[in-house]
Chain A
Amino acid sequence: MKRYLLLALALLFAAIYLFPVYWMYATALKTSGSIFKYPPELWPSEPLVQVSRVFAEHDIGRYLWNSLLVASGITAITMLLGTGAAYALANARGTKANIALFLVIVLQVLPPSLMVTPLFVAFNHVGLLDYPRTAVVLATAAKTLAFYIVLCRATFTQVPRELKDAALVDGNSHLGAFFLIILPLARNGILITSVLVFLQSFGEYVYSRSFIATRELQTATVNLATYLSANSADWVGLMNYAGIYVAPILIVFILLQRQIVTGLTSGALK
């Protein structure tokens, strides 16, 4: 009995915590008149689905597409450079490896809003700002790369070292042992970490806001922020926009919840 009481309490806590998410979707279903009722309606009295209207009105598809492009680019660079490095750092011992690992951890923690000034000036120099989305990808990947290496390294350390030795003795080169034996075994951790990187980059704001001047190339975060400061009374439109934006993230989260929790907990502190 006590156990179900605890479950009820847990659900209550979760409900309170997740209220903002609920409120976003509840508002999205209200009419523009009913949101200005006070006391507010906790449940929309005449729910109205306005997703497609808002979607078309604000050309959300274009900005989501930009976000998707940027996030894919970031994830691709991160996986390409990060997977091997994480593996090598999981194996390596000694001073050089410690320095590399320390460098990775320290570079992971630099706040983007502080790094953006020098990056902007440097990118301006080399002309990268003419390709603003590429600039965002390159800058953000430096951030996600470090995060990815730290988490993936934890995954690789869980693969026994002797497996690599066995593969080498069995006739693999280092290259072959990595691709045929180690990678398949670390696959789940790698995929989950990549999903986390993708979700993070999908919501990236600082670099996109600072590098992308052309409206058509803006990501959804930047566009939403612009909309937020320009039309701060259109809460129905804003909450619909926000709701559309985070829907794919929430779906991925619900599908992979268990793996994401394990992925984060196994590597978070190592």
Chain B
Amino acid sequence: MNVDHPSMNQIEIEHLNKNYGSLQVLHDISLDIPIGAFVALVGPSGCGKSTLLRTIAGLETITSGTIKVAGEVVNDKAPRERDLAMVFQSYALYPHMTVEQNMSYSLRLRRRPKAEIDQRVGEAAKILGLEKLLKRRPKQLSGGQRQRVAMGRAIVRNPKVFLFDEPLSNLDAALRVQMRSEIRKLHKNLGATSVYVTHDQIEAMTMADLIVVLHDGRIEQIGKPLDLYRRPANRFVAGFIGSPAMNFVPAEITADGRAIALGAGALLKIPRAQEPGRKVLAGLRPEHLRLDGSGERLAATVDIVEGTGSMTFIEAKVGSELVNIAYAGTYETEAGAPLTLGIASEDIYLFDPETGRAL
């Protein structure tokens, strides 16, 4: 990311800390969000991602640090002075207003001329397909329609930044996939900077230009989706990004430093030489484990098989460790059957067992 040109960044967060009483929920967060970027804040629940979003919005005060929007420090600015629009998880539509009134509310507060309001609401309604629903109340809408109104309320403002707080988590699976691509398309058309909070790493991977992985109030890693997948900075990110999750198996570097010894007696070549004799955690992605035994080999025994037709998920034992394998296609086997697994040397990740850092 380019930090040499501050003018390129819509939002800059420096050394942000946030405490609730004695409990610190955000630790020294520093993050630059370039103009026009779609950034996902992702992490398990309780990691502080929503709190971070709310501090950007101005809905939460910060304990220390600075937040800049368009180069200007906004620490002490009220939400209404920050020119940000937000889409809430529960949509937070005003139940006593029609769709039209909901969408025009912020413009009416800013005393925009009536003609301008009508025009902007009309445009947003057209983009979102809400023209026929303008006179309805939120109660009379389906979940998907409410979601669109919430989006519309943000769009009409034409804000510097869109903030999304898990906007799709109340929708059913099919609608979620559809809305995902619609939001993505909208972002492409409007070009406004977007910060998107989600606990769903697939949502983050498919939608974002840039992903910020948070855990226990700290940033674990910032990067492009595939970079996070290919080069996780630590064990947490490696386990969080990718589905099914990466397997971690205890191992030891051999005396020549060029391979690892797994508990089960297998020896696997590793991409870069490591300190001989060192204890490590080997990270093996389920989709990288091949059933034809090509590449680095390790022996396993089938424990559980689950087939969905297009995919087969096998839980197998390598020595005393359980390992998940994801196989694209149908593979017939049964519990107790022996397997010879293979993996390409460059697909083996190594982590420090204490610090979790990638080696």
Hey, which bits of chain A sit against chain B, CB under 8 A?
94, 160, 162-163, 165-173, 176, 181, 184-185
- Whole-angstrom CA separation of A169 from B106 in the bound complex: 8
Residues of B within 8 A of A169 (CB): 57-59, 79-80, 84-86, 163
Check A166 against B88 for contact (C-beta < 8 Å).
yes
Residues of A within 8 A of B141 (CB): none
Residues of B within 8 A of A167 (CB): 94, 105
Check A171 against B58 for contact (C-beta < 8 Å).
no
Residues of B within 8 A of A162 (CB): 88-90, 92
Number of interface residues of B (CB under 8 A): 26
Check B84 against A166 for contact (C-beta < 8 Å).
no
Q: Is B153 an interface residue (CB 8 A)?
A: yes
Q: How far is the CB of B218 from chain A (nearest CB, A)?
A: 24
Check A185 against B109 for contact (C-beta < 8 Å).
no
Check B80 against A171 for contact (C-beta < 8 Å).
yes
- Whole-angstrom CA separation of A220 from B71 in the bound complex: 68
Residues of A within 8 A of B106 (CB): 170-171
Q: Is B110 an interface residue (CB 8 A)?
A: yes
Check A171 against B109 for contact (C-beta < 8 Å).
yes
* Across the A-B interface, the 8 shortest Cβ-Cβ residue pairs: A162-B92, A166-B92, A170-B106, A171-B109, A168-B79, A171-B80, A169-B86, A162-B88
Partner of A160, one of B78, B80, B90, B157: B90
Check B92 against A165 for contact (C-beta < 8 Å).
yes
Residues of B within 8 A of A176 (CB): 109
Check A165 against B86 for contact (C-beta < 8 Å).
yes
Q: How far is the CB of A157 from chain B (nearest CB, A)?
A: 15
Check A185 against B153 for contact (C-beta < 8 Å).
no
Q: Which residues in window 7-24 of B have CB below 8 A to A?
A: 21
- Whole-angstrom CA separation of A89 from B193 in the bound complex: 36
Check A172 against B59 for contact (C-beta < 8 Å).
no
Q: How far is the CB of B228 from chain A (nearest CB, A)?
A: 29
- Whole-angstrom CA separation of A185 from B94 in the bound complex: 9
24 pairs, A vs B, C-beta closer than 8 Å: A163-B92, A163-B94, A165-B59, A165-B86, A166-B88, A166-B153, A167-B105, A168-B59, A169-B58, A169-B79, A169-B80, A170-B105, A170-B106, A170-B109, A170-B153, A170-B157, A171-B106, A171-B109, A172-B80, A173-B78, A176-B109, A181-B94, A184-B96, A185-B95
Check B96 against A166 for contact (C-beta < 8 Å).
no
Q: Mark B147-168, 1 if CB is under 8 A from A, else 0.
A: 0000001000100000100000
Check B110 against A171 for contact (C-beta < 8 Å).
yes
Check B92 against A160 for contact (C-beta < 8 Å).
yes
Q: How far is the CB of B110 from chain A (nearest CB, A)?
A: 6
- Whole-angstrom CA separation of A94 from B19 in the bound complex: 13
Residues of A within 8 A of B80 (CB): 168-173
Q: How far is the CB of A118 from chain B (nearest CB, A)?
A: 37
Q: How far is the CB of A64 from chain B (nearest CB, A)?
A: 37
Give 11 A-B pairs besides A166-B88, A169-B84 with Cβ atoms closer than 8 angstroms. Answer: A160-B92, A162-B90, A162-B92, A165-B79, A166-B86, A166-B93, A169-B85, A170-B109, A173-B78, A173-B80, A185-B95
- Whole-angstrom CA separation of A171 from B94 in the bound complex: 14
Residues of B within 8 A of A165 (CB): 54, 57, 59, 79, 86, 88, 92
Q: Mark B226-237, 1 if CB is under 8 A from A, else 0.
A: 000000000000
Q: Mark B72-89, 1 if CB is under 8 A from A, else 0.
A: 000000111000111011
- Whole-angstrom CA separation of A172 from B82 in the bound complex: 12
Q: Which residues in window 44-65 of B have CB below 8 A to A?
A: 54, 57-59
Residues of A within 8 A of B163 (CB): 169
- Whole-angstrom CA separation of A170 from B92 in the bound complex: 11
- Whole-angstrom CA separation of A126 from B163 in the bound complex: 57
Q: How far is the CB of B84 from chain A (nearest CB, A)?
A: 7
Residues of A within 8 A of B57 (CB): 165, 169
Residues of A within 8 A of B84 (CB): 169
Q: How far is the CB of A186 from chain B (nearest CB, A)?
A: 11
Residues of B within 8 A of A170 (CB): 80, 105-106, 109, 153, 157
Residues of B within 8 A of A173 (CB): 78, 80
- Whole-angstrom CA separation of A146 from B324 in the bound complex: 60
- Whole-angstrom CA separation of A171 from B79 in the bound complex: 7
- Whole-angstrom CA separation of A166 from B59 in the bound complex: 10
- Whole-angstrom CA separation of A94 from B105 in the bound complex: 32
- Whole-angstrom CA separation of A173 from B80 in the bound complex: 7
- Whole-angstrom CA separation of A169 from B159 in the bound complex: 11
Residues of A within 8 A of B85 (CB): 169
- Whole-angstrom CA separation of A133 from B88 in the bound complex: 50
- Whole-angstrom CA separation of A167 from B58 in the bound complex: 12
Residues of B within 8 A of A184 (CB): 96
